[in-house]
Amino acid sequence: MYTKEEWRVISDPLGKFTDIFGEAGMPIATITHYGRDIEQNLANAHLIAKSPQMFELLKRMVEGGWSTAIAMEVKEIIQTLDLS
């Protein structure tokens, strides 16, 4: 069982960590920045925050096969993340 809601990323104003929260304000994960590249950690946090959406798309794909609608949703997630 996972938290089935939109997850959001909130960074510590001091730049020490980034939290991922569910809509109800429940913490999902914390990424610390000690000794690490903050931009890379933020990209990781945003990727983790998209996990529920990606999981649901994978589930739909397994149940009903690949479709143009799924492809468009996947493309939107990738463009939103821009992890390059």
pLDDT digits (tens, 9 = 90+) for 19-38: 999 988 899 999 998 877 88
Residue 51 lies in a domain: yes
Name, in order, each residue with C-beta under 8 angstroms of 27's C-beta and a sequence gap of 6 or more: 19, 20, 21
Name, in order, each residue with C-beta under 8 angstroms of 72's C-beta and a sequence gap of 6 or more: none
Of residues 80 and 30, more confidently modeled: 30
Cα dihedral: 52, 53, 58, 62 (round 10):
90
Residue 64 lies in a domain: yes
The total of other beta-carbon atoms located within 10 Å of residue 59's CB is 10
Alpha carbons 35 and 11: distance in angstroms, whole number: 16
Residue 75 lies in a domain: yes
Query: Mind listing the pLDDT tens digit for each residue in 46-77?
Result: 999 999 999 999 999 999 988 999 999 999 98
According to the model, what pLDDT value does residue 2 have?
Answer: 83
According to the model, what pLDDT value does residue 57 have?
Answer: 92
Specify the number of domains making up the chain.
Answer: 1
- Domain of residue 11 covers 7-81
According to the model, what pLDDT value does residue 84 have?
Answer: 60
Tokens 């397994």 identify what position?
62
